[in-house]
Amino acid sequence: MAGEVIAMTGCLPPRLPPGLVAGTFVVVAVLASTLIVYRLYLSPIVRISPNEVHINDPEYFAELNSNTLKLDKYAWYYGFAAAAGSGFGTVSSDLHRIRRNALAKYFSTSNVSHLEPFIQKWVAKLCSRLKEHRQDAKVVDLSNAYRCFAQDSLKDSAASIVSSKGRTLENAKPTVLQEIYDSDLPASEKSVSRFFQEAQTLTIAGTETTSNTLSFTTFYLLSDPTKIELLKRELIDMKRDLSQPLAYFDLQKLPYLAAVITEGLRISDSVAGRLPRVNRNAAMRYKSFEIPAGTAISMSIRDIHFNESIFSSAHEFQPERWLGDAAKKQALEKFMIAFSRGPRNCIGMNLALAEMYLVIGTLFRNFDMRLFDTKEEDLTIAHDFFMPFGPSDSKGLRVKVL
């Protein structure tokens, strides 16, 4: 019988040389693992842990973060913030809406214009420190200077009530915590612990993100004299009295500055964390996949901001991509998600924008700077601490003021 089988499959050689067997095994193994990796990277949806799927599909971001969906944050993931009592750390979408409404009006566009004097005070301080460093020919650690600026501005404009330990002050300037205190939130929402967590998350969120974007934007401008030239020209053409601070209202009208800020926001990767959301009540659908209720679904801003089919030469700082053709610009803006989207987007967006316009506009109007011993790799993400951080041995962005 065995002889018959061999005869029937007579085309097979009776014995394969061992080298060929081993070689075939290696080829098959390599092909199989390539296919697995290929599948992993080609599929826009990957299950990254027993309870979480990650999706890389720019079109889906707005859908997942739509105002009409009531998605919770993923409690396990946001545990890192240890601030479930803050708007940022609130898991439940219903409770979040109540807490956020009490805060949101404070950060509206029109109200942020009232905060401008607080920001200007710290822009002026930053400028005076730069002048001192110029006089002493000292290197400026601009990454840390920007952190200080962002934190001081934020504390001054949003959280100064902390120093009054939650008591209402006569004639106190309105603060974000005062806003919560005066709101019609139930008493249980006005505990000291919640005030503390709200102040803490606002301060952290408003410090790292803004200063990181400022560092990236400054770095790329200083790396390219033609871009500085375009920006300076626009700022000089404003013909403003330099003894007065440049006003946010005026700076917002400058197209090149606006493009610089937007491109800085794109390339600096405001948040590295993958922003997982959970639909507790119903299954979610992504293409042909049904994702069971309770599953965490995450997406990363970076995947979208660095997608080459949307932002060509995505690793290059090109403010020009935001200029010109209005339709093209609008199509790109859909994918500019530095402040995320929907009900959980960045509550401090207007404040952050005001800070960035005022700092970049004022610094490049008033100073000439040169990079000092700083490479792109000193800023680019090496750690995901929810916010992106560079390599541990990086000294950040350092400049000399000329």
Ligand X SMILES: *[C@@H]1O[C@H](CO)[C@@H](O)[C@H](O)[C@H]1NC(C)=O
Per the annotation, binding residues are 346
The pairing of beta strand 284-286 with beta strand 289-291? antiparallel
By CB under 6 A, tell whether 110 contacts ligand X.
yes
State phi, psi for 175 to the nearest 5 degrees: -130, 170
Q: How far is the CB of 106 from ligand X (least distance, A)?
A: 6
Cα radius of gyration (the chain): 26
C-beta of 200 vs 300, nearer to ligand X: 300
Closest CA to 213 of 255, 150, 159: 150
C-beta of 108 vs 164, nearer to ligand X: 108
By CB under 6 A, tell whether 113 contacts ligand X.
no
C-beta of 26 vs 172, nearer to ligand X: 172
Q: What x-and-dash track marks residues 146-185 binding ligand X by CB under 6 A?
A: ----------------------------x----x------
Binding residues for heme: 346
234/292 Cα distance (integer angstroms) = 53
Q: Return the DSSP state at 195.
A: H
Among 47, 105, 285, 287, binds ligand X (CB under 6 A): 105
Stretch that binds ligand X, among 85-93, 144-152, 240-248, 303-311 (CB under 6 A): 303-311
At 155, list the tokens. Answer: 């504390």
Q: Return the DSSP state at 213.
A: H
Are 231 and 258 in contact by the 8 Å Cβ rule? The answer is no
Q: How far is the CB of 181 from ligand X (least distance, A)?
A: 12
Among 51, 56, 345, 380, binds ligand X (CB under 6 A): 56
Closest CA to 223 of 92, 318, 103: 318
Are 352 and 202 in contact by the 8 Å Cβ rule? The answer is no
Stretch that binds ligand X, among 101-109, 208-216, 356-364, 376-384 (CB under 6 A): 101-109
C-beta of 108 vs 281, nearer to ligand X: 108
Q: Return the DSSP state at 390.
A: -
Q: Which positions touch ligand X (CB under 6 A)?
A: 56, 58, 105-106, 108, 110-111, 174, 179, 303, 307, 309-310
